[in-house]
């Protein structure tokens, strides 16, 4: 019975580590919200910008390069630009979470988004 009670001292350390991990994750998420990545499609006809949380921040369409009679192509270019920006944002998210896990001494894949 007393052997089980010895391990309760480690509970405080475990709780401190959990709080540190939670604080680090929150800081990384706040930083990711400020980071932006941009991708384009159609040789710059459409440009999409996402933040590090993979949220679409802006979408720009170069009117001088778009054929107003070919709406389907424009739709495809918008989709491609957004997907490319989100893919870049996902990579930024993965890298930042791996970095945070390493700083906390956690194994790879332990934090969400990895």
pLDDT computed for residue 69 by the predictor: 93
pLDDT per residue over 42-75, tens digit each?
A: 999 999 999 998 999 999 999 999 888 999 999 9
pTM of the model: 0.76
Of 96, 12, 15, nearest to 111 by C-alpha is 96
Q: List, in order of start, the domains of the chain with CATH numbers.
A: 2-104 (3.30.1310.10)
User: Using one digit for the tens of pLDDT, what is the confidence trace for 83-111?
Assistant: 999 999 999 988 888 888 888 777 766 66
What is the predicted pLDDT for the residue at 55?
Answer: 93
Q: For residue 8, what pLDDT is reported?
A: 57
Reduced to 3 DSSP states, what percent helix, strand and coil does the chain have, rounded to the nearest 5?
60, 15, 25
């Amino acid at each position: 019975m007393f052997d089980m009670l010895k391990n309760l001292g480690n509970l405080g350390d475990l709780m401190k580590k959990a709080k540190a991990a939670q604080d680090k994750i929150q800081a990384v998420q706040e930083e990711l919200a400020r980071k932006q990545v941009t991708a384009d499609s159609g040789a710059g006809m459409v440009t999409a910008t996402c933040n590090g949380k993979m949220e679409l921040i802006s979408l720009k369409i170069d009117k001088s390069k778009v054929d107003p009679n070919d709406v389907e192509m424009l739709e495809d270019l918008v989709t491609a630009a957004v997907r490319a920006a989100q893919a870049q944002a996902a990579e930024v998210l993965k890298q930042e979470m791996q970095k945070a896990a390493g700083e906390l001494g956690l194994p790879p894949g332990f934090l969400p988004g990895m």
